[in-house]
Amino acid sequence: MSKLTPLQKRKRTQRLVGLLVGVILVTVVVLFLGLGNKPRSRGGGAVLTPKATQDAARALIKEISIPKSFFEDGVLRQFDKYTPLEAPESFGRANPFEPSLETQN
């Protein structure tokens, strides 16, 4: 490997310092401005008014299409009715966030 003269060393150091400054500038710009074009919220963001909610619900209802014949054919009558299951009173732990004895071993 050939030895570098003091002038070559200085030029190499200047290039590395310039590269380091460039990387730092790009990092600062990315941190402060962000990478994407995120819309800036004005006034705390979107407000869901009752009219907007109703309009959204109407749009969803129009998209859902179940043929009436599905209900008229009696296909649903063949399913058994079920009774909801009830959990015993001693279900779960008093403090669910406390580590159990199994995980302490």
pTM metric for this prediction: 0.33
Instruction: Give the three-class secondary structure for 74.
Output: coil
For residue range 38-95, what is the model confidence (pLDDT) as tens digits?
666 665 556 778 888 888 888 888 878 778 887 787 777 778 777 888 877 776 777 8
What's the gap between Cα 74 and its chain centre?
Answer: 42
21 — pLDDT class (breaks 50, 70, 90): very high
Read off the tokens for 29.
Answer: 């710009």
Read off the tokens for 55.
Answer: 């309009």
Q: What share of the chain is helix, strand, coil (3-state, %, to 5)?
A: 50, 0, 50
What's the gap between Cα 91 and its chain centre?
Answer: 33
For residue range 62-77, what is the model confidence (pLDDT) as tens digits?
878 778 887 787 777 7
Tokens 């705390």, residue? 44
| Integer CA distances (angstroms), 101 to 8, 89, 93, in order | 67, 21, 12
Domain positions in the chain are 49-87
